[in-house]
């Protein structure tokens, strides 16, 4: 007997979304069918799903644009489902072309929308992109239900899009089970591999997007380096931008800093597990994946009270009130790398906190939302 309740997950064109959004889409499409066995769960994107190995043959930029903005709307209009789940707020414009059904969206953050509206003073998107961002805001208001990964983001949705609390469910993101602490021997090998002869290794994981505040992390590290010359900093997700490079040249800490490309999950697990501390001083976050990933790997965390970060970390990190308080960030890092008892306490607290983000819990809550939309 064929399932008579249908859900369609709608994701981004392959290669155009952030790693976290692609990861969330893959998690949902692979795992939700197991918790809703009586449903027919399908997934679709403008550029196809891929072969399951993570390998895509990306089209050129013009082809990707044509498939997304010309062909995809026609394709959306022919889809049929009881529940349409759009997996990211930046894709909310899809709803404009969908046929009748229940509309569900996961809003990971409203950073782009608030910036486009002038409520967040960050680097703005080009004018044409801002038109699409505002359209996404209009479409989010139409949704039957919203999933948010944090109460902070849920509050933003209520406040800025006038969506009542009854139409929002907070479902914290899951932690990938592949993130785990290293054995002593594996940690020693990974430390040599990633950090060489560094006496202390401070890491940052995140893009050079302004709100990630990598420049703040570098300034805090510079102060720490003045006290501990043997400390080194390693940043994942690409080279320094112009502001960061200027600071490195002026401060003289360039030899102690290394920028690295994005890492796949096994290598990122080693990177976290071998480090002495993660610094993550974002100015705003809808969730903050690196904080959770680091805690799972036994890497102590220094973060801030911005956005959702204290909600994710709770008492399992050293939290600085102001992301621009570089001396306070440096002092927190100094405490971790020089006080063994504090570092061990944070590791233990991080392992315990990470249990809250188990995939099974996330899936159970998502399945409840699906079911509530069709009253089954």
CATH code for position 238: 3.40.50.2000
Please report the pLDDT score of residue 376 as a whole number: 54
Find the range with the poorest average confidence among 48-52, 75-79, 207-211, 317-321.
48-52
Task: Based on the fold, state whether residues 311 and 365 are members of the same structural domain.
Answer: no
Closest to 107 (Cα-Cα) out of 65, 139, 74, 71: 139
Task: Based on the fold, state whether residues 113 and 199 are members of the same structural domain.
Answer: no
Identify the residue whose tokens are 């080009």: 126
Task: Based on the fold, state whether residues 331 and 363 are members of the same structural domain.
Answer: no
Statement: residue 347 has pLDDT above 90:
yes
Find the range with the poorest average confidence among 7-21, 223-237, 240-254.
7-21
Q: The whole model's pTM is what? A: 0.93
Q: What confidence tens digit (pLDDT) does each residue in 81-104 have?
A: 999 999 999 999 999 999 999 999
Task: Based on the fold, state whether residues 203 and 124 are members of the same structural domain.
Answer: no
Task: Based on the fold, state whether residues 152 and 202 are members of the same structural domain.
Answer: no
Task: Based on the fold, state whether residues 168 and 208 are members of the same structural domain.
Answer: no
Domain count, the chain: 2
Q: pLDDT: is 20 or 184 the higher one?
A: 184
Please report the pLDDT score of residue 162 as a whole number: 97
Task: Based on the fold, state whether residues 262 and 137 are members of the same structural domain.
Answer: no
Task: Based on the fold, state whether residues 188 and 111 are members of the same structural domain.
Answer: no
Identify whether the C-beta of residue 294 lies closer than 8 Å to the C-beta of residue 288: no
Q: Which residues pair with 40 in a beta bridge?
A: 6
Q: pLDDT: is 123 or 225 the higher one?
A: 225
Statement: residue 29 has pLDDT above 60:
yes
SS3 of residue 56 by DSSP:
coil
Domain that holds residue 236: 184-357
Statement: residue 248 has pLDDT above 50:
yes
Task: Based on the fold, state whether residues 76 and 98 are members of the same structural domain.
Answer: yes
Please report the pLDDT score of residue 54 as a whole number: 41
* Cβ density class 346-361: b for 16+ within 10 Å, e for less: bbebbbebbeebeeee
Statement: residue 299 has pLDDT above 90:
yes
Split at pLDDT 50, 70, 90, the class of 3 is: low
Statement: residue 28 has pLDDT above 50:
yes
Q: Mean pLDDT throughout 216-244?
A: 97
- Report, in angstroms and rounded to the nearest whole number, the Rg of the chain calculated over CA atoms: 21
Task: Based on the fold, state whether residues 197 and 302 are members of the same structural domain.
Answer: yes
Q: What confidence tens digit (pLDDT) does each residue in 46-57 have?
A: 987 754 444 444
Task: Based on the fold, state whether residues 325 and 204 are members of the same structural domain.
Answer: yes
**Angle between the N-to-C axes of helices 289-296 and 340-354, in degrees from 0 to 180, rounded to the nearest 10:** 110
| Secondary structure letter of residue 318 according to DSSP | E
């Amino acid at each position: 007997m064929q399932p008579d309740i249908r859900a369609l997950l709608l994701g981004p064109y392959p290669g155009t979304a952030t790693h976290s959004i692609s990861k969330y889409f893959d998690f949902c499409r692979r795992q939700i069918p197991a918790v809703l066995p009586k449903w027919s769960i399908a997934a679709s994107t403008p550029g196809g799903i891929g072969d399951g190995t993570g390998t895509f043959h990306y089209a050129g930029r013009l082809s990707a644009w044509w498939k997304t903005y010309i062909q995809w709307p026609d394709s959306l209009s022919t889809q049929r489902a009881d529940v349409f789940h759009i997996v990211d707020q930046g894709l909310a414009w899809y709803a404009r072309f969908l046929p009748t059904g229940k509309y569900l969206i996961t809003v990971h953050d409203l950073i782009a929308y608030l910036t486009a509206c002038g409520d967040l003073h960050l680097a703005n998107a080009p004018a044409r992109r801002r038109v699409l961002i505002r359209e996404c805001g209009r479409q989010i208001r139409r949704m039957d239900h919203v999933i948010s990964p944090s109460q902070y983001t849920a509050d933003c949705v209520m406040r800025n899009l006038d969506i009542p609390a009854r139409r929002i469910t907070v479902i914290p993101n899951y932690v990938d089970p592949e993130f785990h602490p290293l054995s002593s021997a594996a940690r020693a090998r990974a430390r040599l591999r990633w950090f060489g002869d560094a006496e202390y290794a401070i890491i940052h994981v995140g893009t050079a997007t302004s709100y990630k505040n990598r420049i703040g992390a570098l300034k805090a590290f510079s102060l720490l380096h003045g006290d501990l010359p043997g400390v080194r900093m390693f940043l994942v997700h690409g080279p320094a931008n112009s502001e960061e490079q200027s600071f490195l040249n002026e401060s003289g800490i360039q030899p102690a800093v290394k920028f690295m490309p994005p890492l796949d999950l096994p290598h990122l697990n080693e990177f976290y597990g071998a480090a002495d501390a993660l610094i993550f001083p974002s100015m705003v976050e809808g969730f903050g994946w690196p904080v959770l990933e680091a805690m799972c790997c036994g890497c102590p965390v220094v973060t801030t009270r911005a956005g959702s970060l204290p909600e994710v970390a709770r008492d399992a990190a050293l939290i600085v009130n102001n992301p621009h308080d570089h001396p306070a960030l440096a002092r927190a890092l100094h405490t971790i790398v020089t006080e063994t008892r504090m570092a061990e306490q944070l590791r233990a607290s991080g392992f315990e906190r990470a249990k809250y983000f188990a995939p099974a819990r996330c899936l159970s809550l998502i399945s409840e939302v699906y079911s509530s939309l069709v009253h089954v």
